[in-house]
Structure 1
Amino acid sequence: MQRDLKRLADETFDLLIIGGGINGLATAWDASLRGLKVALIEKSDFGGQTSSATLKIIHGGLRYLQHLDFRRMRESIRERSALLRLAPHLASPMPFLVPTYGHLMQGMEVMAAAMLMNDLISCDRNRDQPDPDRRLPSGHYLSRRATLDLAPGISEKGLTGGVIFYDGQMYNSERLTFSFALSASAAGAQLANYVAAIRLLRKGAHVTGARCRDLETGAEFDVRATITANMSGPWSDIVLGLLERPDPPRRVVRSKGIQIVAPQLYDKVAVAVPSAYVDPDAVLARGTRNFFITPWRGTSLIGTTDTVYEGDPDAFRITDRDIRDFVAEINQSLPCAKLTREQVPFAFGGLRPITEKNIDTGSTVARKYEIYDHEQDLKIGGLLSVIGVKYTTARFLAEQVVDATFQKLGKTSPRCVTLERPLAGGKTGVWADFERATLAAAPAGISGTTMRHLAHSYGTDYQLVLDLAAREAGAAALVPGAEEVIVAEILHAIRNESARKLEDVVLRRTDLGTQGQPSAAALAACADLMARELGWDTARRAREIAETAARFQFVD
């Protein structure tokens, strides 16, 4: 999978997607599988913005019970099961513990009833799951003692026990997002990162594609398409503004959410801890919203904050103050954590759609996806704007977008098959058997730790990396300072996965940087490989190292 800008410029497409996050990539996959000729452009890297801000939870929509929104709960349950089935190497069940207090809305009686309703509404959650290790157990409640055994240090005042429910967790959210890109490319979609839309092309009252700029060279070219889908997330208003002018206003109002990586606080379950935010839309209000402390690969992931962001989405960044404020809130809610700023090696986050009526109340994140046909509101044909709100349901949103595209094309849509088609690397069968076979097939010089990592990161495609390791001198060696990532993964990312910048490799193709800053030696080694493969000069190499290192520095 590599950029082919000549083909983008020379051919005419049925569908042009502007935005290469999880929703755009899922749409490209679905549309290509249904026979449409698809182009997708992304002005940064695939999954490099909002899609990378996930807490790595595959939500089944339990919170929708508070809103009595059973339809969206069913959607989330179905899509959670789908991801566990379509990408078993990257998604697995995770138990979540919600402590109960008193005998009102936060009490055992109410939460036990909620668990019962959740199990009834999701009674078919494992129906098409062939792997017993990827099936989601029923929820259950715990005694006070058992709750404290699992989550020592939580507030004991009024504690009556706890309830356990199960959701999914991603092994590597960046690889999961990128698996949609690989799947779309394999199905025939033309994908290009670091290409920005700078103007929407029009013929009368119809959008016919976009004027684009290659952000690597500055070259401009047109991508022509019958339908254009604006799926640019926080940038959607700005892209829509390209209808009228090349420099539309860049101020947006969004929700800013961040997550932090911290020392592991709990190792067996994810724990819900009350936050300072109140959910004003809840029909059955339980008081404050929770943030979650989730065990993830030897660390804790903690999130998510929710504050209003106003400004240019390109200027979004996480400050040291953001991290310090969140650490203080965690310590206030969970004093036993005793976290310090110095114990947070990495933070990540992004901007999400906002519900305007809730800006002043604390719960600012929109919960419902939207598909706007601008022939209806702006009298402009050939243009859709799509606002997604939830990673888990991206596949289903894509299905709706592709249905709408066929309708606008005046064609009968073939059946959507993405609910049953494994993602790239996902044909593992029963995971335990696959992992066992992968470990048994380890070539000389490749450790079991690395083989397990390759199985999780690439699924059935791990052999592509091993083939590189066998062919290239030194490619089987670990990246300096890494415990499981080998040099062949860097080469594979450059040659086969459209990695154009050092941070693409460090943060999104491998997990060298997902838990904190890699060593200087690791950055230098990766930059040397990219310089050799992509023809960087000394200045470009130094700039890439500095820019990537800056991703791990948070200043006010």
Structure 2
Amino acid sequence: MSQQPAGSDDVVDLAVIGAGINGLAIARDAATRGLHVVVVDRADVGSGTSSTSSRLIHGGLKYLERYDFNLVRESIRERHLLFRNAPHLVRDYPMLIPSYAGDSRPGPLIRLGLAAFDVLSAGRRKGRSRSVPLRTVARRWPTLSRRGLRGASLFRDAQVPWAERLCVELLLDARRLGARVLTHTTVTGLVVENDRVVGIRAEDNTSGARTEIRAAITVNAAGPWIDRILDGQVASRRLNGGTKGSHIIVDAFPGAPDTCIFFEAAADHRPIFVLPWEGRYMLGSTDLTYEDDLDEVVTSDEEIDYLLAETNRIFPSAGLTPGDVLYSVAGVRPLPYTAGVSDNAKISRGHTVHSHAPAHPGLFTVIGGKLTTHRALAEDVTDAVLRVLGRTRRRCLTRSRAFPGADTADWPTFSADFMRSSPLTPAQSRRLLDVYGVRARRVLELAETDDTLAEVVDEETGALAAEVVLAVREEGAVTLGDILLRRTLIGLGPDMGLKAAAACADIAVRHLGWDEGRARAEVAGYEAELRRFRPRVLDTPVRTGSSDRRTS
């Protein structure tokens, strides 16, 4: 458990189930407005859907074809705010959109959509979209397939390479504001009295200690697991209809572009990305109806073949095979249940704050939501909670509140000063800034307290032992997986941190009070956690859900 649980005689204003990006954002927003908040999650912060996205901060271009202008405007606004409030984590990300004969979205339609997008995002863009002449495509992207190429456009969006760190910084800020976040703690039930939900029951996954957290309002923000939380507890229709999305990670391949390519798959006309990502490439994603176990979501062989075939088609020199896949990432989007849908792309990507009153007052469930709009979702939830509590509505502060890693008056100046003064190599210094922002100085401070904390624990990234200690002491990490996959990000390298795992566990023995038995168990547990990624280094066999199906 990352913090001590609330006692049974405590009554908080708000209990939030789920420490994904939405649950954490709700805690942060509510805490800025004076509410006493507790968040509970059975795993780590951001360890579910939040860490399985395409790592894009979408302006919402794709939603224009569904005429969802409100979602587009909201996405553009939230992207703009993230550029300002988290400049160390969110960066400008140009995309080339080629148009081929046979595409369901012809070039003129794409250009019309881009023009409309530019109008909607006036004043909130890094640059306008523009058409790219074929001769320029041939010179600038010479390995892109020319077969049937009709034109191309350049579009500017945003990327968050480390979505995990967005979640960690929301955790840090929520805790700084007084919220309690209990990770590795399973919600075992809702507390219901006379049909009113008055809190939750929870159990520490490690110690087995049980607690009851009584709350004026409970918010179910468990993403695709929302129906599981409600099942057998309160009467409710099915709310979640999430679809499975998978990505595969590969090294740079022959002809790999240095710009994101956003194109239409020949097999099913689904938009596909070839995403440059921290020296490697992310290919994705799929969009499959998924009815199997939410705890066993794994990329299938069919999905891998599909993504490789489409990438090889668009880049004929790539020659990618399944053996080139370093690992894969699969998750279920928390979309609203929509009966009889024939095309998953038509399911809304917006969010709804669903009240269970009058049948079960005191309970809200968050349906939908996406990485880009987590802050807006949280504002909506807190507004709804304040109305039910009868509190005077307090102004939302998160629109202008910097993330902890951007807590400086001038980020560019801080970044330049850090690069000049850091005793580390330029690559190490740049990585610390990209991962921790201004808190990179805290890493160096820890490293200066003990020579062993200045040691490099991972040759691939140049990460320092001090980061392992920081992850546990200050960033809420509990397990080795928390440290490697969602704090230091060592685990997102080519071998998923397996070479560094034992060294990091040893640091925990020397500095964090782990004994040798726990260290061995943590390394074994980490390897088990990695199997859902099917990492090449483990040669993991696939477990394919029989109910995966493509509907578009």
TM-score for the superposition, normalised by structure 2? 0.90
The question of whether the paired residues in 2 share the 8 Å contact of 1:481 and 1:518 is answered with no
Describe the shift of the 1:75–1:276 C-alpha distance in structure 2 as closer, same or farther (beyond 3 A): same
RMSD, matched Cα? 2.5
- Over residues 200-254 of structure 1, what are the superposed CA-to-partner deviations in whole Å (9 max), with x where a residue is unaligned? 0012121111110001111111111100000001110010125159xx9999853
Matched letter for residue 427 of structure 1? D
**Distance (Å, rounded) in 2 between the aligned partners of 1:77 and 1:358:** 30
What is residue 333 of structure 2 aligned with on the other side? 352
Whether 1:487 aligns to 2:465 is yes
Matched letter for residue 542 of structure 1? R
Whether 1:499 aligns to 2:477 is yes
What is residue 373 of structure 1 aligned with on the other side? 355
- Over residues 107-143 of structure 1, what are the superposed CA-to-partner deviations in whole Å (9 max), with x where a residue is unaligned? 44333322221111100215xxxxxxxxx11111111
Whether 1:425 aligns to 2:405 is yes
Shift of 1:397: 0.5
- Secondary structure at the counterpart of residue 504 of structure 2: helix
**Distance (Å, rounded) in 2 between the aligned partners of 1:472 and 1:465:** 12
The question of whether the paired residues in 1 share the 8 Å contact of 2:244 and 2:289 is answered with yes
What is residue 271 of structure 1 aligned with on the other side? 261
**Distance (Å, rounded) in 1 between the aligned partners of 2:340 and 2:140:** 35
- Over residues 317-342 of structure 1, what are the superposed CA-to-partner deviations in whole Å (9 max), with x where a residue is unaligned? 33455434432343345433211222
Whether 1:214 aligns to 2:196 is no
The question of whether the paired residues in 2 share the 8 Å contact of 1:260 and 1:347 is answered with yes
**Distance (Å, rounded) in 1 between the aligned partners of 2:72 and 2:398:** 20
1:299-448 matches, cutoff 5 A: 299-319=280-300, 322-332=303-313, 334-354=315-335, 355-357=337-339, 359-363=341-345, 366-376=348-358, 379-443=359-423, 446-448=424-426
- Secondary structure at the counterpart of residue 391 of structure 1: coil
What is residue 132 of structure 1 aligned with on the other side? none
Describe the shift of the 1:481–1:30 C-alpha distance in structure 2 as closer, same or farther (beyond 3 A): same
Matched letter for residue 297 of structure 2? F
Shift of 1:466: 1.0
**Distance (Å, rounded) in 2 between the aligned partners of 1:7 and 1:375:** 26
The question of whether the paired residues in 2 share the 8 Å contact of 1:479 and 1:522 is answered with yes
**Distance (Å, rounded) in 1 between the aligned partners of 2:32 and 2:199:** 21
What is residue 75 of structure 1 aligned with on the other side? 74
Shift of 1:96: 0.7
TM-score for the superposition, normalised by structure 1? 0.90
Deviates more, 1:202-211 or 1:306-315: 306-315
- Over residues 178-199 of structure 1, what are the superposed CA-to-partner deviations in whole Å (9 max), with x where a residue is unaligned? 1111111111100011011101
Shift of 1:436: 1.3
The question of whether the paired residues in 2 share the 8 Å contact of 1:150 and 1:268 is answered with no
What is residue 158 of structure 1 aligned with on the other side? 148
What is residue 466 of structure 1 aligned with on the other side? 444
- Secondary structure at the counterpart of residue 385 of structure 1: strand
**Distance (Å, rounded) in 2 between the aligned partners of 1:159 and 1:274:** 12
- Secondary structure at the counterpart of residue 460 of structure 1: helix
Matched letter for residue 188 of structure 1? G
- Secondary structure at the counterpart of residue 157 of structure 2: strand
Describe the shift of the 1:199–1:103 C-alpha distance in structure 2 as closer, same or farther (beyond 3 A): closer
Describe the shift of the 1:138–1:329 C-alpha distance in structure 2 as closer, same or farther (beyond 3 A): closer
Shift of 1:273: 2.4
**Distance (Å, rounded) in 1 between the aligned partners of 2:56 and 2:35:** 31
Shift of 1:544: 1.9
Work out the number of aligned pairs and report it: 531
The question of whether the paired residues in 1 share the 8 Å contact of 2:6 and 2:211 is answered with no
What is residue 55 of structure 1 aligned with on the other side? 54
Matched letter for residue 82 of structure 2? L
The question of whether the paired residues in 1 share the 8 Å contact of 2:352 and 2:368 is answered with yes
- Secondary structure at the counterpart of residue 313 of structure 1: coil
Deviates more, 1:472-481 or 1:544-553: 544-553
What is residue 548 of structure 2 aligned with on the other side? none
What is residue 188 of structure 2 aligned with on the other side? 198
Shift of 1:535: 4.2
Deviates more, 1:67-76 or 1:32-41: 67-76
What is residue 541 of structure 1 aligned with on the other side? 519
Matched letter for residue 225 of structure 1? A
Matched letter for residue 234 of structure 1? P
Describe the shift of the 1:545–1:244 C-alpha distance in structure 2 as closer, same or farther (beyond 3 A): same
**Aligned residue among 230, 236, 242 for 1:254:** 242
Describe the shift of the 1:430–1:166 C-alpha distance in structure 2 as closer, same or farther (beyond 3 A): farther
Deviates more, 1:104-113 or 1:296-305: 104-113
Gaps of 5+ in 2: 543-552
Deviates more, 1:309-318 or 1:3-12: 3-12
What is residue 22 of structure 1 aligned with on the other side? 21
- Secondary structure at the counterpart of residue 272 of structure 2: strand
Gaps of 5+ in 1: 127-135, 279-287
**Distance (Å, rounded) in 1 between the aligned partners of 2:239 and 2:364:** 21
- Over residues 529-551 of structure 1, what are the superposed CA-to-partner deviations in whole Å (9 max), with x where a residue is unaligned? 23445544444322321232241
The question of whether the paired residues in 1 share the 8 Å contact of 2:128 and 2:155 is answered with yes
Describe the shift of the 1:253–1:171 C-alpha distance in structure 2 as closer, same or farther (beyond 3 A): closer
**Distance (Å, rounded) in 2 between the aligned partners of 1:389 and 1:336:** 38
What is residue 109 of structure 2 aligned with on the other side? 110
Describe the shift of the 1:104–1:493 C-alpha distance in structure 2 as closer, same or farther (beyond 3 A): closer
Shift of 1:353: 3.0
Shift of 1:316: 2.3
Describe the shift of the 1:447–1:202 C-alpha distance in structure 2 as closer, same or farther (beyond 3 A): same
**Distance (Å, rounded) in 2 between the aligned partners of 1:289 and 1:7:** 46
Whether 1:41 aligns to 2:40 is yes
- Secondary structure at the counterpart of residue 243 of structure 1: coil
**Distance (Å, rounded) in 2 between the aligned partners of 1:515 and 1:482:** 7
- Over residues 435-491 of structure 1, what are the superposed CA-to-partner deviations in whole Å (9 max), with x where a residue is unaligned? 211111213xx2221111111111111111111100023111211433321111111
- Secondary structure at the counterpart of residue 345 of structure 1: strand
**Distance (Å, rounded) in 2 between the aligned partners of 1:317 and 1:101:** 31
**Distance (Å, rounded) in 2 between the aligned partners of 1:357 and 1:145:** 46
The question of whether the paired residues in 1 share the 8 Å contact of 2:491 and 2:497 is answered with no
Shift of 1:352: 1.3
Matched letter for residue 345 of structure 1? L
Matched letter for residue 508 of structure 1? R
The question of whether the paired residues in 2 share the 8 Å contact of 1:274 and 1:333 is answered with no
- Secondary structure at the counterpart of residue 417 of structure 1: coil
Deviates more, 1:198-207 or 1:20-29: 198-207
**Distance (Å, rounded) in 1 between the aligned partners of 2:159 and 2:24:** 20
**Distance (Å, rounded) in 1 between the aligned partners of 2:477 and 2:334:** 28
**Distance (Å, rounded) in 2 between the aligned partners of 1:49 and 1:250:** 20
Describe the shift of the 1:274–1:336 C-alpha distance in structure 2 as closer, same or farther (beyond 3 A): farther
**Distance (Å, rounded) in 2 between the aligned partners of 1:324 and 1:60:** 29
**Distance (Å, rounded) in 1 between the aligned partners of 2:135 and 2:494:** 35
